[in-house]
Amino acid sequence: MSTVSSTPRTKTGIIPATPTTTRVTGSHVLQASPHYTTTRRHSLYGTEDRVVIDPGSRIWKVGFSGEGKPRDVFYADAKNYGSLWSWNRATDPTEKAEQDNMLEINLERCMRSVFHESLLAEPKARKVILVEHPLMPLYIKDMLAHILFSNLQVPSISFASSHLLSLLSVGRITGLVLDCGHLESTALPIFAARPLFPQLRTTPLAGSRFSSHIRALLLLFGSYLPPPTTLSAAVNVPAANRTTRVPQEILTDAVIEDIKTRCCFVSDALESSFSDVRASSPAGDDPSDHEPPPSSDPAMSESEFSRGSLGQESAAESEFSIISHLTHSTSSGEASSEKHIQVLANMYMRHSTATNLHMRVVPPVSQQTGTGRGTLIIPGWVRERAAEVLFEGGDVDESSVAEVILDALLKVPLDLRKTMASSILITGGTAMLPGFIPRLHTELLRATAPLNILSTRSRPTYDRYASLRPLVPHFAILNNPTPVPSSSARANVNAGKAPAFTPATMAWVGGSLAGALKTGGVEVAREKWDESDPSQTDQDDDVIMVVPASERIPRNVIPDWTRGLLPAGAPPAVALKPLPSPQAVGA
């Protein structure tokens, strides 16, 4: 009887990740690999398959080319569930050098874990496809290349755009890709497998802002049951008498990540208007308990509210918290902000049908003398409406995810808008929230709807998306799980027709496909990397200079679209002389 061992999902022991063949008892017949329909030897027994690495700021996805899913998916910081890097780089030279050195140490640890624990492969015999974000800083790409070439000594590295690979994974070469990651959400149009980088648009409303928003909502509206001090108290004292506010110490990054991935979902937009609510409210009721707050209110919006809680990771070190910020402030503006948030909570609570969840958490240090763990009570409306921060736009610097798509459509040429609007692809870990993609399609229709039918939002006088209104019937999301029928034949053909890959792994699957087809991005060989090393100039071969990461200059061999040539329609740098007039020529 033949047995095929399964692929492990975590790094446990030193069992090989994938057996290539299975030998039948009493026979010499070689059976196929679990990932292939042929008997081709690969992975541990061959070097023709490339290693595909998708290095995210929090989660890495690694595996071999030609396979349908990654071999391993792991957190870069397994202890704290934090990010390896951020877009805010230190300006002080000493702090900057320390930050870069720590980043290089962590990147090297992750790279060695990829080859020696996840894939069990020899790096010297493996070409690497590196899935890169279009806005990944150049110094981070230089660190990754330095680790792979100098430390692991891989033969070559191919840099490929994550948006283009995501589009290739669904069998397309033209479309508009929105990547909702952890640090930011980025929309990039792609035409004929050529990324249109000048039309790229981005917003910080992504997974990081979503996590901080959940933390802020739980601090204000969540409940916490501390562990009882004795067993008799657990039976005799009612749970309602032990309910307290949520301590900041229990809302660690691991707890927030667990809540975000297992408890939250995206619901439909609220369609009830202010006039309907006021008309249906009985006399004597306070209309502020029913009406949605206007967007022109100077009070704190949901986006500003979550932005103010971005520093809550270090709130345990300070006695100033967002709760005291909202309740102990004496200014009238803060009182209005608190009322604004409370009105939002009342409106969401009234329209929510989600149930409250009880989650067991590790109690604070002062309460660990009790019996058992504490209980975090997550309100149902928080689970359902916490993602509203991603769809709240209107800010120039913080556009919503729907506005990012529309802004990118405004930048593309007119003859490409219909093609891009009917081929929208949503990728990224944040897009895996249940109901995210159908809600995004609804927000696209709401943002481009005529002003006279909008009653739930106050719109500015200038309608910047009026030119996109003819494209409304053509909006189609390729990986929409519940496509809506449209009057456009193009939209009906494309909507929901993408393969059922998870949005978080589409970029890796595209890299696996590119590696199997022996294609990819710009390939940098190790010999070319060694030739471009500025530290080896005018030095003996026996002398090796170790340059700190902060003082290392990025090499020109690393591809960077920001250093490319100007587009064809760019004006010349030198003004051309005017041509002589016909009268002067005739004279």
Helix (H, G, I), strand (E, B) or coil at 97: helix
Measured in Å, how far apart are the chain's first and last C-alpha atoms? 100
**Pair 126, 154: CB distance under 8 Å:** yes
Q: What is the mean pLDDT of the chain?
A: 77
pLDDT digit string (tens) for 76-109?
Answer: 987 777 888 887 888 888 998 999 999 999 999 9
pLDDT digit string (tens) for 481-538?
Answer: 999 898 899 999 999 999 989 999 999 999 999 999 887 778 899 999 888 876 554 4
Q: How far apart are CA 18 and CA 6, in angstroms?
A: 7
pLDDT digit string (tens) for 133-149?
Answer: 998 888 899 999 999 99
pLDDT digit string (tens) for 407-439?
Answer: 999 999 999 999 999 999 999 999 999 999 999
Q: How many C-beta atoms surround the C-beta of residue 231 within 10 A? A: 10
Q: Beta 223-225 vs 156-161: how paired, if at all?
A: unpaired
Q: Phi then psi for 130, rounded to 5 degrees?
A: -105, 115
Kindly provide the b/e burial profile for residues 413-443, where b requires at least 16 CB atoms within 10 angstroms of the residue's own CB.
eeebbbbbbbbbbbbbbbbbbebbbbbbbbb
pLDDT of residue 13: 42
- Per residue, the 3-state secondary structure of 412-463, as one string, reads CCHHHHHHHHCCEEEECCHHHCCCHHHHHHHHHHHHCCCHHHCCCCCCCCCC
Q: How far apart are CA 504 and CA 64, in angstroms?
A: 17
pLDDT of residue 332: 52
Tokens of 145: 């290349």
pLDDT of residue 229: 74
Q: How far apart are CA 129 and CA 583, in angstroms?
A: 62
Q: pTM of the entire structure?
A: 0.77
The 8-class DSSP code of residue 496 comes to T
372: alpha, beta or left, given left = phi > 0 and alpha = psi -120 to 50? left
Give start and end residues of each alpha helix (H) in 291-370: 302-307, 322-327, 332-351
Per-residue pLDDT of the chain (587 residues; tens, 9 = 90+): 444 444 444 444 444 444 433 333 333 343 444 444 444 444 444 557 899 999 999 999 999 999 999 999 999 987 777 888 887 888 888 998 999 999 999 999 999 999 999 999 999 999 999 999 998 888 899 999 999 999 999 999 999 999 999 999 999 999 999 999 999 999 999 999 999 999 999 999 999 999 999 999 999 999 998 887 776 666 666 666 778 899 999 999 999 999 999 999 999 988 643 333 333 333 334 434 444 434 334 345 565 555 555 544 433 333 333 333 343 444 555 566 677 778 888 888 888 889 999 999 988 888 777 678 889 999 999 999 999 999 987 677 789 999 999 999 999 999 999 999 999 999 999 999 999 999 999 999 998 887 655 444 555 567 889 999 999 999 999 999 999 898 899 999 999 999 989 999 999 999 999 999 887 778 899 999 888 876 554 444 454 455 555 556 667 788 887 766 545 554 555 544 555 555 554 55
Length of the chain: 587
Tokens of 35: 């990932």
**Pair 118, 11: CB distance under 8 Å:** yes
DSSP string spanning 152-194?
S--SEEEEEEHHHHHHHHTT-SSEEEEEE-SS-EEEEEEETTE
pLDDT of residue 23: 37
Q: How far apart are CA 247 and CA 109, in angstroms?
A: 34
Residues contacting residue 512 through CB under 8 Å, at least 6 positions apart: 52, 63, 64, 65, 66, 67, 68
Please report, as a single letter, which amino acid is at residue 380.
G
Taking CA 557 as the corner, what is the angle to CA 553 and CA 560, rounded to the nearest 5 degrees? 85
